[in-house]
Amino acid sequence: MQFKVIRPDNSKYPFMRGMLAHKLMQRGLSFDQAFQISKDAKSFFHEQAEVTSESLMQSVDELIVARYGKELLKSLTSELFPSGKQICVFRRNATSPFSKGLLTQSITAAGIKPEEAYQIAFDLEAKWMKKNMLRISKKKLFEEVFKTIKKKYSPHIANLYKLASRIDELDRPVIIYLAGASGTGKSVMSTFLAGRLGINKITGTDTIREIMRLVFNRDLLPSLHKSSNKAGIGMPKTLEKSDRLIGGFCLQSQQVSVGVKAVVDRAINERTSMIIEGIHLLPYMQQAIKEGTKRAYHIPITLSLMDEKHHRDRFFERGKGNELRKKEPYLYSFENIRIIHEFCTSESENNEIEVVDNEDFDETTNTLMQLIINTLQEQVKSNNPSKF
């Protein structure tokens, strides 16, 4: 049963572990310690219907001593941060509230685990609150985080944070390409990466193809109007089935790459970083590699699912609760999807495009973040050697 906490003004609210943990982190406990104590408190009062906030906090202090010792309790602030206090971050004439969420996001871009990044953000907020530092420059904030990461991890990780947190300040935009066959997780991964890297623009080749279909009718470009899994229809029947499919798919991809080029060119002209994902990216990624970093930092990656059974299972998951993306057409064409999958991965390897097996979401995101930032660092360094 969830007990209620009685405030000094006699108002009541349900006890919530998350709220108590947040207050304990404000006092100086680590993320793990705060949630452990809040769990202990819930167990301690589970037979009571109500408890005063004063009794709750007294008991919490006793629980801290019982689990972690008196010395830790002495190191904590006795009072919580005043509710009216707010740290503000300023840069030139612009001021915004300090956000642990946004800071955590920028720290994880360096490959640091979310829970560890969150702890860094909390510790810094507690430090500034104790010193009554309610205004801090963006430059000072960055220096504090950089110094903390360098001390806790390594200069290399700190430099990755430096780069990841300033993508919008680079001398040219960053274009990240996520290619791969249907069902390899491109859409989900691109959305997640955009959040971590602070990139606001995501485009899919499916969208580009739909727009091109409105411009070029079926009689003019029939291959453009076919599903990629049925791209072999209309190809010479003297070819083997798989060769017809790959031939049609390559033709379709070349056509879509015209639209991809237009989208990328506009992003470059507007100096806007973006993530572009889709099954038709291979031809343009090859072109981007040849272009180098003259106009933008290009980072091409291909997602794969080497385990065929897991790949098939993804389509069962895709069909749940989404009437617009039914699983049946994909399962019916699964053999063709795997043929395209094998072609994309082998061509990527031949063109030295990194292939990442998207078997486990957490592992894949960490791998992609490290791969993207390390690749970006190499490209920036090659263009600006004096800064490294």
Rounded (5°) CA angle 215-341-345: 105
User: Domains of the chain: which residue ranges?
Assistant: 4-75, 88-165, 172-387
Helix axes 100-108, 155-164, angle to 10 degrees: 120
pLDDT in tens, 255-275: 999 999 999 999 999 999 999
Say yes or no to pLDDT of 221 above 90: no
Residue 305 token pair: 């699912």
pLDDT of residue 48: 87
- Tell me the angle at which helices 114-130 and 31-44 cross, rounded to the nearest 10 degrees: 90
Question: Does residue 125 surpass a pLDDT of 80?
Answer: yes
For position 14, what pLDDT does the model report?
85
Does the pLDDT of residue 188 top 70, yes or no? Answer: yes
Q: HSE on the CB side for 376, CA within 13 Å? A: 29
Class of domain 172-387: alpha beta
Angle separating helix axes 361-383 and 186-197, nearest 10 degrees: 60
Structure-token pair, residue 361: 């979401």
Cut 0.85: pTM above it = no
- Model pLDDT for residues 309-335, shown as the tens digit of each residue: 999 888 877 655 555 556 677 777 889
pLDDT at 142 over 60: yes
**pLDDT at residue number 315:** 83
- Strand order across the beta sheet in which 201-204 lies: 201-204, 274-278, 174-179, 297-304, 354-357
DSSP secondary structure string, 160-197? HHHHHTTGGGSSS-EEEEEE-STTSSHHHHHHHHHHHH
**pLDDT one-digit tens code per residue, 46-98:** 888 898 888 888 899 999 999 999 998 888 876 555 555 778 888 877 888 88
